[in-house]
């Protein structure tokens, strides 16, 4: 292990949740981070697939392979967006409003 990572280990202490609400909030916060990583990687993957699609203008087999890749990337993006929306609905329903999903309110 590198000496540069030692300060990270010192701050890696996680408080153990003492109530069910704290456990759920910890789980949802972790899930929110995972969703953000998936959303970013799928977005990069879609851009990469579109670039590859336009770069291989002559090869029909490559177009079919890339088209399948892009379809599954869009399906994955829809699933990740659905997970994000489900967490938002559950957060609003059960009053976990400050779990980490940004909620915008109109100015007063």
Q: Which domain holds residue 29?
A: 21-94
With respect to residue 43, please indicate whether it lies within any of the assigned structural domains.
yes
What pLDDT does residue 27 have?
79
With respect to residue 78, please indicate whether it lies within any of the assigned structural domains.
yes
* Cα–Cα distance for residue pair 12/37, rounded to 1 Å: 20
With respect to residue 4, please indicate whether it lies within any of the assigned structural domains.
no
Per the model's pLDDT, the better-predicted residue between 98 and 19 turns out to be 19
Instruction: Copy the structure tokens of residue 59.
Output: 């090869």
What pLDDT does residue 60 have?
84
| pLDDT exceeds cutoff 60 at 104 | no
> What is the number of structural domains in the chain?
1
Max Cα distance, the chain (Å) = 61
With respect to residue 68, please indicate whether it lies within any of the assigned structural domains.
yes
What pLDDT does residue 47 have?
92
With respect to residue 2, please indicate whether it lies within any of the assigned structural domains.
no
What pLDDT does residue 102 have?
54
Q: Which residue blocks in the chain are alpha helix, DSSP H?
A: 6-10, 20-55, 60-94
Task: Give per-residue pLDDT as tens, 8-19.
Answer: 555 555 667 778
Task: Give per-residue pLDDT as tens, 43-92.
Answer: 999 999 899 888 887 888 888 888 888 999 999 989 988 888 888 787 77
């Amino acid at each position: 292990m590198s000496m540069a990572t030692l300060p990270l280990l010192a701050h890696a202490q996680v408080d153990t949740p003492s109530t069910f609400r704290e456990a759920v909030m910890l789980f949802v916060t972790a899930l929110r981070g995972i969703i953000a990583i998936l959303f970013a990687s799928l977005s990069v993957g879609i851009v990469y697939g579109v670039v590859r699609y336009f770069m291989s203008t002559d090869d029909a087999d490559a177009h079919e392979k890339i088209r399948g890749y892009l379809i599954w990337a869009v399906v994955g993006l829809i699933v990740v967006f659905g997970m994000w929306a489900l967490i938002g609905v559950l957060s609003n329903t059960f009053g976990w409003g400050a779990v980490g999903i940004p909620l915008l309110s109109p100015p007063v």
